[in-house]
Structure formats: C-alpha cells, structure tokens
Structure 1
Amino acid sequence: MNLPLYEYSLCIALPLMLFFGAYFLLAPTPDKAIFSNYLRSRRIMGCALLLLAANYAVHFFFEVRLRNVNAAILMNLSTYFLCYWLFSSALTTLLDRFYITRRRLRFHLSAWVLFTLLSGVILLGLPEGAAQRAGLTVMAAWLVGYGLWLARRLILAYRRAVRLFDDTHSDNIGAYIRWMSVFTWWAVIFGVGCGLLTFLPDRYIFLWILSSVPFYIYLYCSYMNYLLLYERVEQALEEELPAEEEPAAASDDPESPDDTPDREARPLHTDLAARLSGWIAADGYLRPGLTIRELADALHTNRTYLSEYIKATGNGSFRDWITDLRMEYAKRHMLRHPELNITEIAEAAGFVSPSHFTRMFKTREGVSPSNWRKLQGEDGPVL
C-alpha cells in the first residue's frame, strides 16, 4: 500500500465528511412548519454522513486496513449497507413524507443486522479459500442488489412526483427536484464502485476515499440549493397529493369521472370544449403559476375530469398543453410587436424566465426566438 497517499486522501475526506454531517444535523432552517420534513430528511442524511465519517476515522486512526484486511472489509460492507438505507430514506422522504414507517424501519434494520452477521461469519469465521471467496461474492451481490432496489424505489418516487407536477402545474416544478435523480444515479455508480474497491488490492484503496470528495460536495450543494426551492415543491405536493385520494363520488359536478363514461359523454365534452375555448380566447393561460385546480374552479368542472380531457385532446400533460398555448402566443406577440425584446416577450407570454422561454422555444422550433423572428422577416431587438 502507498501509505502516504492513503493517509493524505483520508485527511482530505474526513474533515469534509465531519463538516457536512454536523451541518446537516445542526444547521437551522426557516422557522416554518412546512420545513419540518426537509429538516428530517437532512438530519437522516447527516447521520449517514457521520456514520461514513466514523468509518473513515477508524481507518485513519486505527489503521484497520493494515492490521486486518478482513475486518476492514467487514466494517465497510456493514457501513455501506446501512448508509444505503439512510441515503435513500433521506431523499425519498422529501417526496413522500409518509415513507418512513416503523415497519420499514424494523425490516431494514433487521436486514442490516443479518447482513453484518453473515458477512462476519464469512470474513472472520471461514478460512481463506474458495468457500470464503464464494461467500464474499454472495454478500457483494446482496449489497449491490439492495442498493439498486432502493435506488429504483427512489427513482419511481421521483418520476411520480414529476408526473404529478406536469399534470397539475403550468410551471416546471419538476426541474426543482431533478437533482435527486442526478444524485441517485451518481450514488448508484459511486456505491457500487465503493463496494468493488473494498475488494481491490491495498494500493488502490485511496481511490475509494478520494472518489467520495466530489460526491459529497455535490450532495451538500444540492441540499443547500434545494432549501431555496423546497417550500414551493412541498406546497405543490400538499395541494395535489390529497386530491388524488378524494373519492370521485364526493363530487356533485355532473362531469365527475365517477359517472358512467357513455352517459351523455359527447355533450359534456362539447360543453367543456366551449368553456375552454372561451378561457383560451381570454388569454387565461398567460398567468404565471397557473394550476389545473385553479383552471377547474374557473371552468366550474371536476379537476380529474379536466386533466383526463386535456390529456386526451392535447396529447400531453397539463404543463405541455399550457406551454404550447404560451408558445403560440409568444410567436404572435413577436410578429405583432417587433419593438419588444425577448425578455418582454417571455414575460408577456407567462414564462418564468427568459432563459426558460428560450430553451423551450429552441426545443420546439429548432432555433432561438430571435433567429425565428428574423426568419419571419422581422428585425426586432434581441436579448
């Protein structure tokens, strides 16, 4: 082993882990009830980071890797298994406040104890040889499979949240939680990599330690940035998630989806189409922050029925439908008002920012708004 390189890498990683873990546990959040779930998530993540820091500290101060390789591998496997659960729980609870239950807690803690005991028997109880290697292969496969299973659950929760936001909000709320998806895939690669590095020859161990530095810096920055956006995301979840559980029979609206689908379906669709046409003609879609619940209230109809109607006729989510309407308005506005710049056009069309408008426009049209206006024969000012 290259001992100086190994120790230097621990000196870099350990202080960062201690700082991040302590900050997540102790740093204050805005004094609002809505941030309680964020604080719980961050504290769970802080516990995970401090647990990993304790692992690093034992390696650094007691040189376990040099004294007993099998004991070091056992400590790493046990630590990773528990941290997989803590990491996934911390992130999943940001999207589902009811995710952590006593039953889940008992199940995962029991699995961790069983995994640690079996790993200990294999590493410390079996003599080196084919039997031990086979046992370690099984435990490594268990660890990787467990991590992938937890990652899959988190990705599914993320995708459900994004679909919910797209179906109910005109703004791209899903962009605020995209870091969770990025971090999850990075965590899968990092976690599997760390598991493999545990079994590598000693001279490569410093790679396991140094690889953690950018990983945890990204995590820290993501949590800090999300604090600025969390309130809006949580409000969107609070507004819409209960609505999915409302019994359809509780609605007195004749357009409730609880009605027989064939019963006067055509007149109902025709009536809703007429009301939507009037709303579109009045440019109601230009208001920033519009939600499908607000639109349903304005049209005096059922929110679920309206969502299904938009998906059937608009070939997309509520957000896609609103974006298309705003995009067509922006095109008309650019041609009618060449004196307006792109920032003014984006604001008039209801987009949250000029950069978001430009990005969406280029995705749909293949050119920037400024170039599109020039191609239409207009020489309006550009951003």
Structure 2
Amino acid sequence: MTHPVYSYSLCIALPLMLFFGFYFIFAPVPDKAIFGNYLRSRRIMGAALLLLAANYAVHFFAEIRFRNVNAAILMNLSTYFLCYWLFSSALTTLLDRFYITRRRFVVHACQWLLFTALSGVVLLGLPDGLIQKAGLLVMGVWLVAYGLVLARRLILSYRRAVRLFDDTRSDDVGAYIRWMSVFTYWAVIFGVGCGLLTFLPDEYIYIWILSSVPFYIFLYYSYMNYLLFYEQVEQAFESEMPLEEKNMGEVLPEEEHELPSCYVEIGEKLSAWIESDGYLTLGLTLKDLAEISNTNRTYLSAYIKQTYQLSFREWIASLRLEYAKRMLLQNPELTIADIAEKSGFQSASHFIRLFKENENCSPARWRKNESE
C-alpha cells in the first residue's frame, strides 16, 4: 500500500527541519559576549528541530507508521514530550538566563524517561482494547498538561519582562520580544494538535506533517529577526533587572496608605522637568529620570504609577503624544515623520500606531479635522 501524499509531505518538511536545525546550531552570531545567551538558546532550539527531523526521517525511510502504528505513536509521544522541554527552555532562557539549572535538567529528563517507559507499556505491552485506550488517554492528558505547564511558565516570564521594560524604558522594548508570546500560543495549539493528529487514520496523517511547515518557518524567521534587537533587549535586562529584584523584596510606596513626604518633592521636580520638555530625549529610561530628579528609582516608579495610573513607558508616551498634537497644529509644514522624530518616538510607524490607539484616527486626519 502506497501513501504518496504522506511521502511528499515528509519530503517537504524533512529538508526544512534539517536546514533550520543545523543553521541554528552552527550559524555564527556577532562576536560579542552579550550574544552568548542568544547562541545557547538557538542551539537548544536547533537540537529540538533536529530531534523532530530524526522523527520525520524514521517515518519517511522506515515507514514505521505503516509497519507498526503503536511503535510510531510511541516514538511521536516521546519525541513531543522531550521537544516540549527543549522548546520552552530555549525561549525561557532568552527571558531568564538562569532558568536552565542542573536540578531542573535532571527533573525533566527523569519525567521524560518515565513518560516514555509508561507509554511503551501502554502501547506495546497492553493488548488492543478498552484498557489500552484508557491508558493512551492518560498519557495524552499527561502530555498536554506538561506542555501547558511549560507554556504557562514561559508566558509568565514574558509578562514579567514586558512589565519590567514598561516600568523602566520609554521605548517599547517589549515589542521586540512579542514574537515569543505569539509563538508560545501557536506552539500550544500546534503541540496539542500534533498530539491529536498522530492518532489520525493513515490516509490523513499528512495533515500532521504539513501543518509543521509554516510553524517552523515562523520560528526561523523570528529567531533571525530577533538577532537584530537582541543586544538592545539584553542590555535592558542587565541594567534594570537588579531594580526589579530589589522591588520584589520590599514594600513599594504605592502599597502604602499615605504618600511618602518625598512624593511632594518628586512631583515638583517632575513638573519642572515636563515644562522643559525633558521627555523628548530619545532612549529615556527610569534610571535617567531618577538621576535628573536626584531621587530613588523605586520611589519614582511608584510615584508615576500611583499619580498617573500608567507605567513609565505609557506615561512618557502620553507626554510625547500631547507634544506631537501641539506640533501638528502649530507646524502644518512639518511631515508626520518629522513630528514623530521631534516628539521622541522610535519611528513614524510607532508614532502613528500609538496615535491611532489614543485618538481613533491617524495624525494626518486629526490635524485636518482640528484645522477645519
């Protein structure tokens, strides 16, 4: 019995998997120490891709799916379980360089061995029937639950990083890591889907193979694109993480019932700073403003949150938007790009996006409406 569609789908997926895997492991990165963690993450991801490629190769060359279905399902389940850990580790280490420890590695390796052994007992040791189906259901629930736990940990790390950037940087640094959130949700859907698709009848199993192609292309593109911004993100982590760790162990002023006496002084200094248009400075950080105001970063951050109900980034963006509005009306000869640059935004596209979110129309239309 031949299955040409199944074979052709493997012919498409397997070369891509091999290319991505070897590229992630062996392709060079800029010769700077700061890229060490990025390279480690990419190599872990490359190992995961090569593991999946090996799985595909066994399916393609040995046609295990049509020789022994239970053995094929066992191989898939074991591969997915291990790849869940590798995928989540590769991404989480980009957000937390201390995530991978020897103890955590041993724990997950033991879980994988136990899962594989029990899956083998269910698929190869139990006779076909209700008991085997019940056992497969248990293993499937275990696999999905494991993946969800890893995904949740990654999403929490992502949100923690975005919150850190929003509280300390005026630029939208969080936009550079947003692909991790998108990929994680996609990976959950794809991973659960693959677990279900592996039980499809033989004539439909090609769907499982072809569905992986866009998924891994997006992963490859995201990693390559992130290389352009990684240094900026990592520098933000290095400069601001000590502040976050300090805040985790102390009671912030925003949690107190009364405003500290220093808040009055902070408010006066910020008012003078706003009057001087200090918020237009490119790349402004909470640390910079704290030094300008001669105050503590922790209290400054808490003051901004409690007074304006905004993060540092949102607060600076609101000041810049108000400045841009004045520029739009007072300087009709200036282009939108010129105003975006003079108002301290990262780019014209970033300015237009924020303006639309706040005013529900583009800067050009707003200027026209206000001028009429």
Indicate the residue corresponding to 1:361 in structure 2.
Answer: 355
Q: Does the CA-based 8 Å contact 1:257-1:304 persist in structure 2?
A: no
Residues 286 and 349 of structure 1 are in contact (CA less than 8 Å); yes or no, is this contact kept in structure 2?
A: yes
User: RMSD of the TM alignment (CA)?
Assistant: 1.9
| Alpha-carbon distance change, 315 to 205 in structure 1, aligned in 2, over 3 angstroms | same
**Alpha-carbon offset, residue 248 of structure 1:** 10
The residue aligned with 1:144 is 144
Aligned residue among 306, 327, 338 for 1:333? 327
Please give the alpha-carbon distance, in whole angstroms, between the structure 2 residues aligned to 1:309 and 1:19: 51
Contact residue 24 and residue 42 of structure 2 kept, 8 A: yes
**Residue identity matched to 1:294:** D
What's 1:321 paired with? Answer: 315
Match of 1:208 in 2: 208
Q: In structure 1, the residue corresponding to 2:243 is in which secondary structure?
A: helix
Question: What is the identity, as a one-letter code, of the residue corresponding to 1:179?
Answer: W
Q: Distance in 2 between matches of 1:372 and 1:262?
A: 41
Alpha carbons 1:257, 1:305 under 8 Å: kept = no
What is the TM-score when the length of structure 1 is the normalising length?
A: 0.94
- Is the Cα contact below 8 Å between 1:248 and 1:258 reproduced in 2? no
Flag the 1:183–1:278 CA change in 2: closer, same or farther, 3 A: same
How many angstroms does 1:266 deviate by? 5.6
Give the TM-score normalised by structure 2: 0.97
Q: 1:327 to 1:81 in 2, by over 3 A?
A: same
Q: Does 1:345 align with 2:345?
A: no
Letter matched to residue 310 of structure 1? I
Q: 1:311 and 1:265, CA in 2 relative to 1: closer, same or farther beyond 3 A? A: closer
The equivalent residue for 1:253 is none
User: Per-residue deviation at 1:264?
Assistant: 9.2
Q: Percent identity?
A: 70
- The Cα shift of 1:280 comes to 0.5
* Distance in 2 between residues matched to 1:11 and 1:21, nearest whole Å: 16
Instruction: Give the aligned partner of residue 304 of structure 2.
Output: 310
Q: Would the alpha carbon gap of residues 273 and 202 (structure 1) be closer, same or farther in structure 2, given more than 3 Å must change?
A: same
Aligned residue number for residue 79 of structure 1: 79
Q: Which residue of 2 aligns with 1:135?
A: 135
Cα shift readout 1:66-125 (whole Å, capped 9, x = no counterpart): 110000000000000000000000000000000000111001000000000000000000
Question: Does the CA-based 8 Å contact 1:81-1:112 persist in structure 2?
Answer: yes
SS of equivalent to 1:367: coil
* 1:6-58 Cα distance to aligned partner (Å, 9 max, x none): 11011000000000000000000000000000000000000000000000001
Query: Could you tell me how far 1:288 is from its partner in structure 2?
Result: 1.2
Q: Is the 8 A contact 1:24 1:45 kept in 2?
A: yes
In structure 2, distance between residues paired with 1:221 and 1:314: 38
Matches within 5 A, 1:75-224: 75-224=75-224
CA shift, 1:258, in A, is: 7.9
8 Å CA contact retained: 1:55, 1:79: yes
- Structure 1 363/264 Cα, relative in aligned 2: closer, same or farther at 3 Å? closer
Segments of 5+ residues of structure 2 without an aligned counterpart are none
Taking structure 1 as reference, are residues 263 and 152 closer, same or farther at Cα in structure 2, changes over 3 Å only? closer
When the two structures are aligned, how many residues end up with a matched partner? Answer: 372
Residue 337 of structure 1 and its aligned partner are, at CA, apart by 1.2
Mapping 1:163-312, distance limit 5 Å: 163-246=163-246, 265=259, 267-312=261-306
Q: Distance in 2 between matches of 1:232 and 1:248?
A: 24
Contact 1:2 / 1:203 at 8 angstroms: preserved in 2?
Answer: no
1:265-318 superposed Cα distances (whole Å, 9 cap, x missing partner): 464221111100011111110011100011001101000100000000111100
Equivalent-residue separation in structure 1 for 2:49 and 2:331 (angstroms) = 55
- The CA deviation at 1:245 is 2.7
Letter aligned with residue 326 of structure 1: R
Amino acid in structure 1 at the alignment position of 2:115: F
The answer on whether the counterparts of 2:122 and 2:132 sit within 8 Å (CA) in structure 1 is yes
1:319-355 per-residue CA deviation (whole Å, 9 max, x = no partner) reads: 0100000001011111111111111111110001111
In the superposition, relative to structure 1, how do residues 248 and 136 fare at CA in structure 2: closer, same or farther (>3 Å)?
Answer: closer
Q: Aligned letter for 1:106?
A: V
Amino acid at match of 1:199: F
1:27 lines up with 2:43 in the alignment: no
What letter corresponds to residue 41 of structure 1 in structure 2? S
Q: Quick check: 1:287–1:350 contact (8 Å CA) kept in 2? A: yes
Contact persistence 1:73–1:199 (CA under 8 A): yes
1:58 aligned partner: 58
For 2:346 and 2:252, how far apart are their aligned partners in 1? 36
Q: Deviations over 1:209-257 (max 9, x none)?
A: 11111110000000000000100000000111112234899xxxxxx97
Show structure 1 runs of 4+ deviating over 6 A: 256-259, 261-264
Q: Report whether the alignment pairs 1:70 with 2:70.
A: yes
Letter in structure 1 aligned against 2:330: R
1:40 alignment partner, SS class: helix
